[in-house]
Amino acid sequence: MSSITAEALDKREEHSLKQLIAGIQLGYGIPTLLLMLYLFFHLGWNPKYKNSFYRLVQVDLLINMLFWISSWFVVRSLDFPSGIEFIKAMENSIPGIFDISGFFVLVFYHMQFCSAASMSVHRISSILFFSKYERFWSRFYLLVYLCFAIYSCIPQFLGPAMTLKVVNNTACLYIDHELYFISVRNFAILTVIYFCLIFGLAITVACTACKKLQDTIAADQGVSRKLTKIAMTYGYVYSGLLIWTGGHMSQYIFNVPQEVIEIGYSLMSLAMDMMTLSLPYILLIFDTNIKQDLRHPRQSSASAANAVAPSLST
């Protein structure tokens, strides 16, 4: 018996709660996306942010923006009749665009974790190898992210578990349940590994800073508290993805009604947004340079020629 089933998306029943959640996600997502876009160009154009740490922040912002936009095309737009019509029009114009977008959603997902890990490693290297870290990261950060991109493509070698075709003007979603289960299982395992890695690195940042900086900086307690807050913030953000993955896997473990699964999937996408859209707000809370620039943009323009390293609170 074939494990592949087909669903006519045009005949999906509308769920008002799912559409309400999607509307809320648009409400906070679009302003945050604009803030991320502003920070991306602001950090690139202003020579004040020439330190390699901000290059990593820029790439991370770009990855998060691309992931959020791609997720709307592949997943969230399916909650709206107009979204399904848009997908059909795109699929008729560019056959396979849905499958290609799904591929990149998963690639960007893995790159998000790699990028977050690299920022923590950057913080550790800036403390342990103060005189050498800047040269390395300035020269090789693009090569590092290229390696991340290649790695992120590897989990997709099994092929797509879901494909979309337009048949007689009807959008049909084909799901290979056997392949889908294998993909979700691997997805869950990698997510747990990523979470442990990110959380461990974040704690290492706090511990390393506390040990190495206490002999040279009088206000070491304040620095340690700020670094610990960053570590715990990252741990909290990425724990949201564990909740999302665990809930997504529950449909194969427990006898959960399909309607509950669909609503839960939409609710858990909020946890995914918590990670994807959190970086600009974490920067505004902990990075004094960016905070001051947004509060006093004229002063920032006047002093842009004076390049400075990231403050210890980043």
**167 beta partners:** 170
Per the model's pLDDT, the better-predicted residue between 42 and 127 turns out to be: 42
pLDDT at 232 over 70: no
Q: So where are the chain's domains?
A: 4-295
Instruction: Give the right CATH number for 4-295 from 1.10.10.10, 1.10.443.10, 3.90.650.10, 1.20.1070.10.
Output: 1.20.1070.10
Please give the share of the chain, as a percent, with pLDDT higher than 70.
Answer: 75
CB-CB contact of 139 with 133 (8 Å): no
Q: Extract the runs of DSSP E, i.e. beta strands, from the chain.
A: 4-8, 162-167, 170-176
Give dist(CA 135, CA 213) in Å, integer. 21
* H-helix or E-strand spanning residue 100: helix 97-128
Q: How confident is the model at residue 289 (pLDDT cuts 50, 70, 90)?
A: confident
In tens, the pLDDT along 66-125 reads 999 988 888 778 777 888 888 888 888 888 888 888 899 889 989 998 998 888 888 888
Give dist(CA 34, CA 202) in Å, integer. 27
CB-CB contact of 105 with 185 (8 Å): no
CB-CB contact of 276 with 112 (8 Å): yes
CB-CB contact of 216 with 158 (8 Å): no
Helix (H, G, I), strand (E, B) or coil at 314: coil
pLDDT of residue 147: 96
Q: How confident is the model at residue 259 (pLDDT cuts 50, 70, 90)?
A: low
Per the model's pLDDT, the better-predicted residue between 300 and 271 turns out to be: 271
pLDDT at 227 over 60: no
